[in-house]
């Protein structure tokens, strides 16, 4: 829902502006809760990991929102979702040991299904395919999960405060240097608020789970991202009126089964 709301806002305003607006919203909530819970300090290592997450996450969001706004939701959402899920699994394999065979089979099936899902209906359709945006976004999401998963101090909200500060400063710097538009249209404000709030909630859930489990087990959380991205395909066909291939529903079911197997 956060990704969809951000993509919807980016159809009406620049993606960079949407991320610049939405990131501080979750940060304000994180600051308030961190103060209430007494999370006023972090070890240097956790600050570093949080900063790296704060640089990779919003960068991924900008490219992801641009991809969704371009009308290539059927390409961008599944590719970014699967890639963002696969990277933590690979890193977890290096750090904690190889996943179970059923998990590897599920990942392979999901990757193969994405190749089918991302075929466009109209081969003559002009404009970029969105694949490049999806690859950059997926790599950024994967890096974000890896970095945030390394936070181990036990604090839940303080790392997210650092993440949001780094994200906001990065987006502001990009806007100043590139002189990009940064104002949101009125129609984009509500979706951007929803995106920023829900995104922070999802980050919180991941931090808490990462602190309670081994990396390969926690990777099940980002692996569920492609399952959630199936809703993008449904909304694309129902609300955004983007047509799908006749065999795409089968491919969607295969990809969902693949990601379920990898859990």
Cα–Cα dist 47/43, whole Å = 6
Q: Say if residue 182's pLDDT is above 80.
A: yes
Q: Say if residue 39's pLDDT is above 50.
A: yes
Share of residues in the chain with pLDDT > 70 (%): 71
Is 253 within a domain?
no
Higher-confidence residue of 207 and 117: namely 207
- For the ranges 100-114, 154-168, 221-235, the lowest mean pLDDT is seen at 221-235
The mean per-residue pLDDT over the stretch 33-41 comes to 88
Number of independent structural domains in the chain: 1
Cα–Cα dist 11/155, whole Å = 36
The mean per-residue pLDDT over the stretch 7-15 comes to 83
Q: How many angstroms from the chain centroid is the CA of residue 50?
A: 16
Provide the mean pLDDT of the chain.
75
pLDDT single digits (tens) 120-151: 544 445 555 678 888 899 999 999 999 988 88
The mean per-residue pLDDT over the stretch 191-216 comes to 78
Is 135 within a domain?
yes
**DSSP for 50-86?**
HHHHHHHHHHHHHHHHHHHHTT-HHHHHHHHHHHHHH
Higher-confidence residue of 26 and 251: namely 26
Q: Say if residue 198's pLDDT is above 80.
A: yes
Task: State which residues form the domain around 13.
Answer: 2-98+128-216
Is 6 within a domain?
yes
Any idea what DSSP says for residue 13?
S
pLDDT single digits (tens) 210-240: 777 644 444 444 444 444 444 444 444 444 4
- For the ranges 61-65, 94-98, 194-198, the lowest mean pLDDT is seen at 94-98
Higher-confidence residue of 63 and 229: namely 63
Residues in contact with 125: Cβ distance below 8 Å, sequence separation at least 6, in sequence order: none
Any idea what DSSP says for residue 12?
T
Is 89 within a domain?
yes
The mean per-residue pLDDT over the stretch 183-192 comes to 88
Q: What is the pTM (predicted TM-score) of this model?
A: 0.75
Residues in contact with 178: Cβ distance below 8 Å, sequence separation at least 6, in sequence order: none
Alpha helices in 182-247 (DSSP H): 186-210, 215-218, 220-223, 225-238
Determine the pLDDT at residue 239: 44
Is 76 within a domain?
yes
Is 7 within a domain?
yes
Determine the pLDDT at residue 258: 45
Best-predicted range by mean pLDDT (28-42, 84-98, 115-129, 233-247): 28-42
Higher-confidence residue of 194 and 95: namely 194
Is 254 within a domain?
no
Q: Say if residue 52's pLDDT is above 90.
A: yes
Is 52 within a domain?
yes
């Amino acid at each position: 829902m956060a990704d969809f709301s951000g993509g919807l806002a980016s159809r009406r305003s620049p993606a960079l502006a949407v991320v610049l607006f939405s990131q501080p919203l979750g940060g304000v909530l994180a600051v308030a809760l961190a103060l209430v819970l007494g999370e006023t300090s972090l070890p240097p290592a956790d600050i570093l990991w949080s900063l790296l997450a704060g640089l990779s996450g919003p960068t991924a969001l900008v490219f992801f929102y641009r991809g969704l706004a371009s009308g290539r939701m059927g390409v961008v959402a599944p590719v970014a979702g699967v890639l963002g899920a696969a990277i933590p699994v690979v890193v977890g394999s290096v750090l904690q040991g190889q996943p179970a065979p059923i998990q590897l089979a599920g990942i392979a099936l999901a990757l193969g299904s994405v190749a089918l899902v991302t075929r466009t209906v109209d081969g003559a359709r002009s404009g970029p395919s969105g694949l490049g945006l999806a690859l950059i976004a997926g790599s950024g999401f994967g890096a974000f999960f890896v970095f945030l998963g390394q936070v181990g101090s036990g604090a839940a909200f303080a790392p997210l405060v650092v993440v949001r500060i780094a994200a906001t400063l990065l987006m502001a710097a990009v806007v100043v240097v590139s002189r990009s538009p940064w104002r949101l249209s009125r129609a984009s404000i509500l979706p951007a608020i929803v995106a920023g709030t829900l995104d922070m909630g999802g980050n919180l859930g991941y931090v808490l789970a990462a602190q309670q489990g081994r990396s390969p087990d926690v990777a099940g959380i980002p692996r569920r991202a492609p399952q959630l991205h199936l809703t993008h395909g449904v909304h694309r066909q129902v609300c955004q009126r983007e047509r799908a291939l006749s065999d795409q529903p089968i491919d969607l079911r295969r990809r969902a089964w693949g990601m379920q197997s990898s859990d």
